[in-house]
């Protein structure tokens, strides 16, 4: 069913198109006939020469507007039109046949050449198109075919061959260059839907037209030609033609050229204007050359001006497009010029800072940068600017509510088409949240480490209590003894002095233990300083001593003399050693009491590292678990949280060191911490 419909519509369409084509062909014939009549009118009264031959332009234009496969029909129609006109002028059959053939061939050649070389013959767009057009339609074909035409004419009319050749070629050239662009553009203008012309433009066009008519008449139609006719009149129309090309493009230029052409021909034909000096043939030539010399440059000029306008408007369009993108983008976009001054800030930037663009231009935007970041900002930007390199920088910019937000600013240098530096373009992203998250992360890490320490301290609570109870107990006992001695009158001043001094020193001892505990559980940010490894181990022993005794563990420390300083957070380092030591103690719980031994060793190794190791004589950990030991939530203890070693490793790695564990061949476990050795100089650079 559908197929039949399709066939029916196609047939209908085909018949419609055939009708259309028939109508066009007929119209062509008629136009050609009329144009031929016009051409014959535009010739000198006593001459054979047609100044111009509009029929050529008509046929060429029509051929360029229709499909190639119809050309033969249209050409025949044109020939027919000419034939009718020739018959009316009482030409013989032979006389009319030759021009018809000649015209047909010439026009086909022009149309064919143009169609082949120019993509859109309908409208001459680029300079290349114009050059091709001039070469084919104005130079090569007219001049080439003139050889043939001149032969016939000189034979037929008995005139000089070269004169005929000259007349023919010039005449056809002028026809092509004056009429074809005008016709083609006129058709294009009529067939396309252009926006309505504004009144201003209409008035301008009318002024131009009026000016052309007036000047044209004045230049070409005014007085009868004679010795005092000034050749300067020839130049009078030129400014108007240029105006037409400038303001109305190729279409305007062509139309204006047409007006001038007609006025010039009309005036010259009737014995007026500046061209009537010599014989009609020479007058004709002068006029034709004038028209040629005016029309061809005008064509190029018009096309160049249009190209310029197009590229200008493309540039403007791209500017507008960029501005649109820049203003709708959620990031802050800025541009700077060749002197680092701010030249553009997009809408997002202005909305963010809440300032107007005038206040931001130049160096105004710097006022929004946080005082602490300004120096660094200028430094980085300046350095990159000198080298014309891209840069990335983070700084704080004041938001319109007064809060300073961290911005990630990326800038790239811009270069124009010739490679000259024209400034920078960049974008800013608000990374305050991200930084906050990083900070939170850090804080959490520190918190976690602290929690680990608190847990360790909890495990040591009983031992630490013992460490406090001893000095406190001694203080109380001493004081009671003193009271009793006083009651019996037995207290000598020396004895009293000694007793009181003992109390004081025990008080200090208690304080130290409590301070040690407090340091371990205090909330504080990690701070790195020069830490003596020996001191840390001493602190460690002080804390675990009581526990070692309680567990019957023999604890020995071997600190090499060359084990010096590291750059570390003292509390965190102590925490790690504590963790390892407590682990060792617990591992020894299953070993018989007299075999429980923990050795803590500190020594300096090559590559400038200091290693502290904790060795125990326990059963070791199961083989194959070496890597898992340090994982979070992994524990071999029944009640272990599994966090201690994970925290310990992350602390050591944050210090730029390594923490590893292994089973020893002779039994037992060895955990080793290695940290880079620090010197005075290193600590001062951080």
Partner 1 sequence: MPTAVHSWKHSEERAPKGCTSDAASVCLLDDDLSMLKALDRLLKAEGFHVERFSEPAAFLSAIAQAPCRVAILDVWMPDMNGLEVQEVLRQDSPETRIIFISGRDDPSVRQTALEAGAFGFLSKPFDDEVLLRLVRKALAA
Q: Which of 223, 466, 534, 682 binds partner 1 (CB under 8 A)?
A: 466
Residue with tokens 């992203």: 429
Q: Between 432 and 478, name the residue whose CB sits nearer to partner 1.
A: 478
Identify the burial level of 91 via C-beta atoms within 10 angstroms of its C-beta, where 0-12 means exposed, 13-18 middle and 19 or more buried.
middle
Query: Is position 122 an interface residue for partner 1 (rule: CB under 8 A)?
Result: no
SS3 226: coil
Query: Is position 546 an interface residue for partner 1 (rule: CB under 8 A)?
Result: yes
Query: Is position 505 an interface residue for partner 1 (rule: CB under 8 A)?
Result: yes
Query: Is position 590 an interface residue for partner 1 (rule: CB under 8 A)?
Result: no
Q: At what angle do helices 141-157 and 93-117 cross, to 10 degrees?
A: 170
Binding mask 267-286 for partner 1 (x = CB under 8 A): --------------------
Query: Is position 249 an interface residue for partner 1 (rule: CB under 8 A)?
Result: no
Query: Is position 484 an interface residue for partner 1 (rule: CB under 8 A)?
Result: yes
Binding mask 548-567 for partner 1 (x = CB under 8 A): -xx-x---------------
**Piece of 320-328, 420-428, 442-450, 478-486 that binds partner 1 (CB under 8 A):** 478-486
Distance CA 537, CA 612 (A): 9
Distance CA 50, CA 41 (A): 9
Nearest approach, Cβ of 554 to partner 1 (angstroms)? 8
Q: Between 490 and 686, name the residue whose CB sits nearer to partner 1.
A: 490
The helix (H) or strand (E) run that includes residue 600 is strand 597-605
Query: Is position 492 an interface residue for partner 1 (rule: CB under 8 A)?
Result: no
Distance CA 258, CA 250 (A): 12
| C-beta contacts of 85-93 below 8 A and 24+ residues apart | 85/33, 85/36, 85/37, 85/40, 86/36, 89/40
Q: Which of 358, 594, 623, 627 binds partner 1 (CB under 8 A)?
A: 594
Q: Which of 370, 509, 597, 682 binds partner 1 (CB under 8 A)?
A: 509
Q: How far is CA 201 from CA 233, 245, 499, in A?
A: 28, 14, 116
Query: Is position 599 an interface residue for partner 1 (rule: CB under 8 A)?
Result: no
Distance CA 118, CA 115 (A): 6
Q: How far is CA 592 from the centre of its chain?
A: 74
Residue with tokens 């002080």: 542
Q: Which of 47, 154, 222, 470 binds partner 1 (CB under 8 A)?
A: 470
Q: Between 482 and 619, name the residue whose CB sits nearer to partner 1.
A: 482
Q: Between 19 and 556, name the residue whose CB sits nearer to partner 1.
A: 556
Q: Which of 143, 217, 499, 526 binds partner 1 (CB under 8 A)?
A: 499
Number of chain residues interacting with partner 1 (CB under 8 A): 34
Residue 196 per-residue DSSP state:
P
Q: Between 516 and 676, name the residue whose CB sits nearer to partner 1.
A: 516
Query: Is position 478 an interface residue for partner 1 (rule: CB under 8 A)?
Result: yes
Integer distance in angstroms from the first to the last C-alpha of the chain? 89
**Piece of 159-167, 431-439, 503-511, 616-624 that binds partner 1 (CB under 8 A):** 503-511
* Tokens describing residue 511: 């304080």
Q: Between 119 and 484, name the residue whose CB sits nearer to partner 1.
A: 484
Of 60, 52, 169, whose CA–CA distance to 115 is shortest? 60
Query: Is position 164 an interface residue for partner 1 (rule: CB under 8 A)?
Result: no
**Piece of 25-33, 150-158, 294-302, 467-475 that binds partner 1 (CB under 8 A):** 467-475
Query: Is position 586 an interface residue for partner 1 (rule: CB under 8 A)?
Result: no
Nearest approach, Cβ of 547 to partner 1 (angstroms)? 10
DSSP-assigned letters across all residues of 50-97? BS--HHHHHHHHHHHHS-GGGHHHHHHHHHHHHHHHHHHTT--HHHHH
Phi, psi of 676 (to 5 degrees): -65, 140
Phi, psi of 395 (to 5 degrees): -150, 170
Distance CA 620, CA 641 (A): 19
Q: Which of 66, 408, 422, 472 binds partner 1 (CB under 8 A)?
A: 472
Nearest approach, Cβ of 619 to partner 1 (angstroms)? 18
**Piece of 216-224, 264-272, 394-402, 459-467 that binds partner 1 (CB under 8 A):** 459-467
Q: Between 112 and 482, name the residue whose CB sits nearer to partner 1.
A: 482
Q: Between 69 and 488, name the residue whose CB sits nearer to partner 1.
A: 488
Query: Is position 512 an interface residue for partner 1 (rule: CB under 8 A)?
Result: no
Q: Between 236 and 541, name the residue whose CB sits nearer to partner 1.
A: 541
Distance CA 670, CA 595 (A): 16
Q: What is the total residue count of the chain?
A: 686
Q: Which of residues 220-239 bind partner 1 (CB under 8 A)?
A: none
Q: Which of residues 648-667 bind partner 1 (CB under 8 A)?
A: none
H helices of 329-404, in order, are 347-353, 357-360, 371-387
Query: Is position 541 an interface residue for partner 1 (rule: CB under 8 A)?
Result: no
Query: Is position 471 an interface residue for partner 1 (rule: CB under 8 A)?
Result: yes
| Torsion over CA: 111, 112, 114, 115 (sign) | positive
Nearest approach, Cβ of 612 to partner 1 (angstroms)? 23
Answer left, alpha or beta for residue 419, where phi above 0 means left and psi between -120 and 50 means alpha: left
Nearest approach, Cβ of 634 to partner 1 (angstroms)? 29
Q: Which of 129, 467, 539, 616 binds partner 1 (CB under 8 A)?
A: 467
**Piece of 298-306, 591-599, 603-611, 667-675 that binds partner 1 (CB under 8 A):** 591-599
Q: Between 250 and 598, name the residue whose CB sits nearer to partner 1.
A: 598
Other CB atoms within a 10 A radius of the CB of residue 446 amount to: 18
Q: Between 38 and 472, name the residue whose CB sits nearer to partner 1.
A: 472
**Piece of 38-46, 366-374, 546-554, 649-657 that binds partner 1 (CB under 8 A):** 546-554
Does residue 153 contact residue 168 with C-beta atoms inside 8 Å? yes
Query: Is position 501 an interface residue for partner 1 (rule: CB under 8 A)?
Result: no
Q: How far is CA 660 from CA 153, 471, 623, in A?
A: 111, 38, 14
Query: Is position 465 an interface residue for partner 1 (rule: CB under 8 A)?
Result: yes
Query: Is position 481 an interface residue for partner 1 (rule: CB under 8 A)?
Result: yes
Distance CA 577, CA 569 (A): 13
Q: Which of 95, 502, 560, 603 binds partner 1 (CB under 8 A)?
A: 502
Residues contacting 334, CB < 8 A, separation 6+: 342, 344, 345, 346, 349, 365, 425, 426, 427, 428
Q: Which of 462, 500, 514, 625 binds partner 1 (CB under 8 A)?
A: 462
* Tokens describing residue 211: 């000016």
The helix (H) or strand (E) run that includes residue 678 is none
Q: Between 277 and 550, name the residue whose CB sits nearer to partner 1.
A: 550
**Piece of 185-193, 357-365, 457-465, 566-574 that binds partner 1 (CB under 8 A):** 457-465
Query: Is position 490 an interface residue for partner 1 (rule: CB under 8 A)?
Result: yes
- What is the contact surface with partner 1 in residues (CB under 8 A)? 462-463, 465-467, 469-478, 480-482, 484-485, 488, 490, 499, 502, 505-506, 509, 546, 549-550, 552, 592-594
């Amino acid at each position: 069913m559908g197929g039949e419909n399709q066939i029916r519509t196609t047939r209908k369409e085909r018949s419609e198109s055939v009708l259309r084509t028939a109508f066009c062909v007929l119209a062509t014939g008629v136009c050609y006939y009329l144009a031929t009549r016009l051409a014959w009118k535009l010739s000198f009264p006593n001459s054979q020469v047609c100044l111009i031959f509009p029929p050529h332009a008509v046929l060429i234009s029509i051929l360029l507007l229709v499909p190639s496969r119809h050309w033969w029909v249209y050409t025949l129609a044109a020939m027919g039109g000419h034939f009718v006109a020739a018959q009316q002028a009482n030409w013989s059959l032979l006389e009319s046949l030759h021009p018809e053939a000649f015209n047909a061939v010439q026009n086909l050649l022009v149309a064919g050449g143009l169609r082949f070389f120019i993509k859109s013959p309908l409208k001459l767009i680029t300079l290349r198109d114009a050059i091709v057009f001039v070469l084919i339609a104005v130079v090569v074909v007219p001049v080439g075919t003139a050889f043939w035409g001149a032969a016939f004419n000189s034979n037929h009319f008995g005139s000089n061959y070269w004169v005929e050749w000259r007349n023919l070629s010039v005449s056809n050239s002028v026809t092509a260059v004056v009429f074809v662009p005008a016709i083609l553009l006129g058709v294009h203008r009529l067939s396309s839907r252009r926006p309505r012309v504004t009144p201003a433009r209409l008035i301008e066009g009318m002024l131009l037209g009026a000016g052309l008519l007036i000047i044209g008449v004045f230049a070409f139609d005014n007085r009868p030609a004679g010795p005092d006719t000034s050749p300067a009149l020839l130049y009078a129309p030129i400014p108007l033609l240029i105006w037409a090309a400038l303001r109305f493009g190729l279409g305007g230029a062509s139309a204006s050229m047409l007006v001038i052409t007609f006025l010039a021909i009309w005036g010259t034909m009737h014995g007026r204007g500046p061209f009537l000096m010599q014989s009609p043939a020479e007058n004709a030539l002068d006029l034709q050359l004038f028209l040629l010399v005016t029309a061809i440059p005008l064509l190029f000029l018009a096309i160049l001006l249009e190209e310029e306008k197009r590229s200008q408007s493309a540039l403007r369009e791209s500017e507008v497009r960029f501005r649109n993108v820049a203003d709708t983008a959620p990031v802050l976009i800025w541009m700077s010029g060749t002197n680092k001054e701010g030249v553009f800030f997009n809408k997002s930037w202005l909305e963010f800072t809440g300032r107007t663009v005038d206040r931001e231009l130049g160096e105004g935007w710097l006022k929004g940068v946080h005082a602490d970041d300004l120096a660094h900002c200028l430094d980085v930007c300046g350095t990159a600017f000198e080298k014309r390199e891209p840069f990335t920088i983070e700084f704080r910019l004041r938001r319109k509510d007064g809060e300073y937000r961290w911005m990630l600013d990326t800038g790239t240098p811009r270069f124009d088409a010739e490679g000259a530096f024209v400034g920078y373009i960049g974008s800013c992203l608000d990374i305050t949240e991200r930084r906050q998250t990083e900070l939170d992360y850090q804080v959490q890490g520190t918190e976690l480490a602290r929690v680990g320490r608190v847990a360790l301290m909890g495990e040591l609570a009983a031992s630490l209590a013992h460490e406090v109870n001893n000095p406190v107990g001694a203080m109380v006992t001493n004081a009671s003894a003193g009271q009793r001695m006083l009651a019996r009158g037995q207290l000598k001043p020396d004895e009293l002095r000694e007793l009181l001094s003992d109390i004081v020193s025990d008080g200090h001892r208690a304080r130290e233990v409590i301070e040690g505990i407090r340091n371990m559980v205090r909330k504080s940010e990690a701070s790195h300083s020069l830490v003596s490894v020996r001191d840390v181990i001493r602190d460690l022993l002080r804390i675990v001593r009581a526990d070692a005794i309680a567990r019957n563990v023999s604890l020995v420390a071997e600190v090499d003399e060359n084990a010096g300083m590291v750059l570390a957070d003292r509390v965190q380092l102590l925490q790690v050693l504590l963790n390892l030591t407590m682990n060792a103690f617990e591992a020894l719980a299953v070993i018989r009491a007299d075999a429980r031994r923990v050795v803590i060793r500190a020594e300096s190794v090559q590559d400038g590292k200091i290693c502290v190791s904790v060795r125990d004589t326990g059963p070791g950990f199961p083989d194959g678990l070496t890597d898992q030991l340090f994982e979070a939530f992994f524990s071999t203890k029944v009640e272990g949280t599994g966090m201690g070693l994970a925290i310990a490793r992350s602390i050591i790695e944050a210090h730029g060191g390594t923490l590893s564990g292994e089973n020893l061949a002779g039994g037992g476990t060895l955990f080793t911490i290695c940290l880079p050795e620090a010197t005075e100089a290193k600590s001062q650079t951080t």
